[in-house]
Amino acid sequence: MPFDPETLRFDANGLMPAIAQDAASGEVLMMAWMSADAIRRTLETGRVTYWSRSRATLWVKGESSGHVQELVEMRIDCDRDCLLVLVNQHGPACHTNRRSCFFTALRGGREVEIMAPEG
Amino acid sequence: MPFDPETLRFDANGLMPAIAQDAASGEVLMMAWMSADAIRRTLETGRVTYWSRSRATLWVKGESSGHVQELVEMRIDCDRDCLLVLVNQHGPACHTNRRSCFFTALRGGREVEIMAPEG
């Protein structure tokens, strides 16, 4: 049976978390939200597309910055309410120009920046 | 300034997504939800603790199964509304006895199981 995004379990807003992971390095790059439409567009175009909650619109990652994510593979978790997208990340994934959005670590009870902006 | 979980941005239910990643292999194991209390407990005990939305209670991962997650490092994303927890995973992370909850991949437009339950 071909995959149908409607068989997934979306939250009350029709969204689910999608974790982007660098397909080559395994680094976790970011987490954003996908609607059924965002999932369809991602699979059809091969360009990872999220739902922007702040702008309330589909958001082709990197559309303005050029920091696109080419889809390598989409995976679904056991509860069918979370996605893992393996990607080829062009440029930094974070809007702060860092490779990953997870650049703050808790070490010794304090927040430490572990990654500098690129370029 | 010591880290205070209350400075993070929780959703309307007082929760945020927490992604568990195997600290050694880089494999993304699961995604679950943390409250401020769950974050505090995780940091204090070194045992990754989530908020179970179905049971509406704190949930020390592996408490009954023995498949605990030792915290290696907690990271915060740029928007302060998502966590990445690097863990030493004891046994399988998924309740289906698979290493990761993300054992279903989309390949050729179909769902394919890419990981078997462990012995």
Report mean pLDDT in 10-residue bins for chain B, 119 residues. Answer: 93 97 98 98 98 96 96 98 98 97 97 95
Distance CA B29, CA B41 (A): 20
Closest in B19, B25, B43 to A31, CB measured: B19
pLDDT recorded at residue B74: 98
Structure tokens at A110: 């304090």
pLDDT recorded at residue A13: 96
Q: Does A74 lie at the interface with B, CB-CB under 8 angstroms? A: yes
pLDDT recorded at residue A46: 98
pLDDT recorded at residue B37: 98
pLDDT tier, A1 (very low <50, low <70, confident <90, very high otherwise)? confident
- Residue A119 in this model has a pLDDT that exceeds 90: no
A31 to chain B, closest Cα gap in Å: 7
Q: Model confidence over A53-112: pLDDT tens digits? A: 999 999 999 999 999 999 999 999 999 999 999 999 999 999 999 999 999 999 999 999
pLDDT recorded at residue B1: 73
Residues in chain A: 119
In this complex, do B3 and A75 lie within 8 Å of one another by their Cβ atoms?
A: no
In this complex, do A73 and B105 lie within 8 Å of one another by their Cβ atoms?
A: yes
The mean pLDDT of A12-27, rounded to a whole number, is 98
State pTM to two decimals. Answer: 0.97
What Cα–Cα distance (Å) separates residue A23 from each residue in A82, B35, B118?
A: 18, 30, 24
pLDDT recorded at residue B119: 78
pLDDT recorded at residue B7: 97
Closest-approach residue (CA) in chain B for A108: B2
This complex has an ipTM of 0.97
CB A113 within 8 A of CB A99: no
In this complex, do A104 and B21 lie within 8 Å of one another by their Cβ atoms?
A: no
In this complex, do A31 and B82 lie within 8 Å of one another by their Cβ atoms?
A: yes
Residue of A22, A44, A37 lying closest to A90 (CA atoms): A22
What Cα–Cα distance (Å) separates residue B50 from each residue in A66, A87, B43, B81?
A: 36, 27, 12, 15
CB B93 within 8 A of CB B28: no
Residue of B19, B79, B26, B74 lying closest to A94 (CA atoms): B79
